[in-house]
Structure 1
Amino acid sequence: MFLTANTHIKFFNHNEIRLTQGKLSIEPLSNNNIILHGPNFTLHSNGGALALDLTQAHLNPIVQSGENTMLIPSRWQPKHFWSFDSQSDRTIDSMGGATGIPAAGATRTTGLVGQGAFIFDNSANARIDVGSGGGTAPATGSFSVTDGVTIEALIRPEYSGKFKEIDVIFRKDKGDNELRMLLSFQHDQGKNYLRPEGQFNESLSFGLYIVGQGYHELKLPLDGLKGRPTLAQLKQGDFHHIVASYNVPTGLKAIYINGELLASYQYPPGSKILSGGPWDRHLSVIIRQSLVG
């Protein structure tokens, strides 16, 4: 194996390596399969020669393969998915280990996509508890993310819009509110951690802790201006597809409704998220179907 200067690699074991910077070349060695992880793919040498070049930052990775090289692209899949279709007394997480326990204020009803959904009665027990995803400290567990996060839900809101009332779609925290991950309907004033800054009435709020920036919430005002819906329009009885996303490489934080980008904020590209750890409560209040990745 040959490395250029300033190459960064990580060894997983005697035949599995990740290249994060520089260039690496592997000599052919019969009956020895070297597994090499690139930015978004994995290469298997299968006994042949292999080289991976990441030195041209403005270009795509350059692969020089041998006769038997196999390339496996990384495939996106959600970390957690709750379809609510199961008839179990639990809300099954079909992609991860965060199967939820509905509280007394959450009852099953007919869904729009698939058969199942939940309706929430707006009481203190209107929630589904999904645990910590195995987290015991910040940046641990399956709710800890590195490259970004997407929270996706199909909902029919019944939010009142009253001052200081909150209807939560997803919330993950443990006492320390600065490290929470939040997507909710809100009506509040006086927050100094909104980005962009401002004062808003009824809104959708997307909160994350960004390393080097702190905890910030992005607001999507439900005011009917600039293509945004009003709260009354969202409550006309239709289901709505809500997506909140943050992309670490680009630094873009955004909220979409029914596929349309309606609110965004630009952080410095590469700004990471701090999340995960122990759990406080809940996946909650108005959710119908959701995806977290």
Structure 2
Amino acid sequence: MHPHDQRDDREHLLELADRMIDGVATSDEVAELESILLNDPEAQRTYLRYTLVHGQIAMTIPAMPAVRPSMAASASDADSTEPTRLGNSRFATWSTAAGLAVAASVLVIIGLRWHGNALEPQAQVEIPQTKLQTQAMAYSYDHRKQLLGTVGTLGRNRNATGPLTLSVVQGATKFRTSSGASLRVQGPAMFGINSAASGVLYKGSVHAKLHHPDASFSVTTANLRFLDMGTEFEVDVIDDQHIAVRVLDGEVEVQSRIRSPLFYWNFDTPGSTAVEDPYTRSVPLTYGANASRTAGIVGNGAVRFDNSPRAFVKIDEGLGETVGTGAMAFSSGIAIEAMFVSNWSGKFKDYDEIFRKEDGDYRFLLSFQNDDNIGEYAEPQVANGPCLSFGLHLEKLGYRELDMPLDGVDGRPSVVELTDGNPHHVVATYDSFSGRKCLYVDGRLRFVHTYPIGILAISGGSAPAIIGNNQWNESEAFHGTLDEIALYDFALTSEEVALHYRQVLDRKSYFSQDVRASSNQRWESICSVRAGSRQVFNIVTGLPIESVTPPNDY
């Protein structure tokens, strides 16, 4: 059979599978599907793999981009799949489960018709239990195997949500996003999907082809972004220092990360907004009755919190509709930075929030705590007592807090040190490219925990962000002064933290004058790579290293 005919047959099989899963297949289509599967073991394996992956993807959260999985690995087949929009509601989840049950029944019917005589499967199939709730999904696919390796949830939290990271052991796996990009991840590889139009490449390579002139797809690393302008390209991580982009058609713009804050509030401008602050988005601030302006730790102004319920500053702009959406939906990295003068008591059940966005289990926070690890969120486990806590929800792991004991041991600060009436500088960071979750105080790294590389954070949603309190009960008010609050969509480096601390020691802003204002523009163009070319870049510096024009048949 001609390869083109094989692709057409396979595509027709997947179309019939889609109609079965959606519950709209006619009796003639069911009969046709049974006929295809009855005498074709390869079709049976493709059908089963497709329905299993489709079901697991469909039961991820609305923040997960709509994708259609495919088991094919050939580059020539990269554009053969069609998009399938996944439901964003509980009804859609139940409908998908019901459709999968019907789809699976086709193979049961086929099995009965075999009577145990004609065919024997080449590998035992382990069908995961269907869970009728939203789930995170991550899977490993080894092309040498006839079936998927693992599909399902990991960790203690069974209600985790996307984004997701694909770990491809060997061979390739394909899918298509709702933005119109057909992607092929070539193993061994690790690729995170953080939106319908973007992904994060940790290792291996990813091939992207767009099907509409006005579509775009970007592949991001720690400091570089490769933005395709509606064509076809491939990005390959060569080693921990080098990355290459090869453009097959059209043009790719290579961009460098603008290392400025996404949000920055210095409280120097009077009133309820910080519109005049050149570093700050035009985001309204709502002051609680007991949050008052005071002399700045740096600059002209700061905010004084009196440890009472009405002591807060609320940010209720730039939010999303669901978890994983909005301006504060961080995935590959995050940093929270602040200056403070603290009068915290350190007593049991006393909480002083520096920054908190409370989207349920997808909250993120930086606060002083003493609660004997209520909820068992601490990772790593530490002794009970007063601590500085950095909480964040991590893909597959659930909500976790880095709780640094304030005991004065092993370079950690003590409660007495941080409540001495003097200004202090704090930075909390998470970097999925290194796996490091860090707490810095006064310019020095004081506490760190390292996770596996490639675990994305999950945040964002409809809940307001709160400076100096907890949105829900307003019982965790800060006692003291907060200033220079900055929020980043990447992890600051140790060198950047140290530089910022040296700046504030001189009562200056964190940022030198040449740091551009925070805005929706998070990347700046380095160069363009055109069709037929391959360009290598230094991952750390973002600088191009060599330019190669491959032969015509490349």
Q: Same fold (TM over 0.5)?
A: yes
Q: By how many angstroms is 1:134 displaced?
A: 2.2
Aligned residue in 1 for 2:238: 56
Higher RCO, Cα 8 Å, sep 6+: 1
Q: Deviations over 1:127-182 (max 9, x none)?
A: 100125221111111111111110000111111112101110001014x2x22111
- Structure 2: stretches of 5+ with no match in the other structure: 1-74, 79-171, 182-196, 210-215, 469-477, 489-554
Of the three residues 469, 480, 483, the one matched with 1:288 is 483
Which residue of structure 1 lines up, in the alignment, with residue 428 of structure 2? Answer: 244
Whether 1:77 and 2:274 are equivalent positions in the alignment is: no
Letter in 2 for 1:181: F
Among 248, 251, 259, the residue aligned to 2:443: 259
1:18-57 paired onto structure 2 within 5 Å: 21-22=205-206, 37=218, 39=220, 40-42=224-226, 53-54=235-236, 56=238
- 1:186 partnered with 2:369: yes
Report the counterpart of residue 103 of structure 1 in structure 2.
288
Q: How far apart, in 2, do the equivalents of 1:111 and 1:184 lie?
A: 21
> Where do residues 1-293 of structure 1 align in structure 2 (5 Å cutoff)?
21-22=205-206, 37=218, 39=220, 40-42=224-226, 53-54=235-236, 56=238, 60-62=242-244, 72-92=255-275, 94-131=279-316, 133-174=318-359, 176=360, 178-191=361-374, 192-279=376-463, 282-284=466-468, 285=478, 286-293=481-488
State the partner residue of 1:31.
none
Name the CA shift for 1:58/1:163 in 2 (closer, same or farther; >3 Å).
closer
Residues 213 and 59 from structure 1, CA distance in 2 versus in 1: closer, same or farther, beyond 3 angstroms? same
The answer as to whether partners of 2:373 and 2:384 remain within 8 angstroms in 1 is no
Select the structure of larger CA radius of gyration: 2
Q: 1:71 to 1:278 in 2, by over 3 A?
A: closer
Structure with the higher strand share, 1 or 2: 1
C-alpha deviation, 1:227, in angstroms: 1.4
**Worse-superposed segment, 277-286 or 74-83:** 277-286
Instruction: Tell me the SS of whatever aligns to 1:287.
Output: strand
Identical pairs, percent: 31
| Partner SS, residue 96 of structure 1 | coil
Distance of aligned partners of 1:239 and 1:75 in 2 relative to their CA distance in 1, 3 Å threshold: same
Deviation of 1:58 after TM superposition, in Å, equals: 5.1
Q: Secondary structure, in 3 states, of the residue corresponding to 1:233? A: helix
Q: CA 1:159–1:64 in 2, change beyond 3 Å: closer, same or farther?
A: same
- Output the amino acid matched with 1:152: E
Q: CA deviation at 1:59?
A: 5.5
Residues 236 and 245 of structure 2 are in contact (CA less than 8 Å); yes or no, is this contact kept in structure 1?
no
- The one-letter code of the counterpart of 2:485 is S
C-alpha distance in 2 between matches for 1:198 and 1:44: 46
Change (3 A) 1:105 1:221: same
Structure 1 alignment gaps of length 5 or more: 26-34
Coordinate RMSD, CA, aligned: 3.4
3-state DSSP of counterpart to 1:54: strand
Q: Using structure 1 for the length normalisation, give the TM-score.
A: 0.80
Structure-2 separation of matches of 1:272 and 1:190: 24
Inter-CA distance 225–42: structure 2 relative to 1 (3 Å threshold): same
TM-score by length of 2: 0.44
CA contact (8 A) 1:163 1:187 kept: yes
Question: Greater share of helix residues, 1 or 2?
Answer: 2
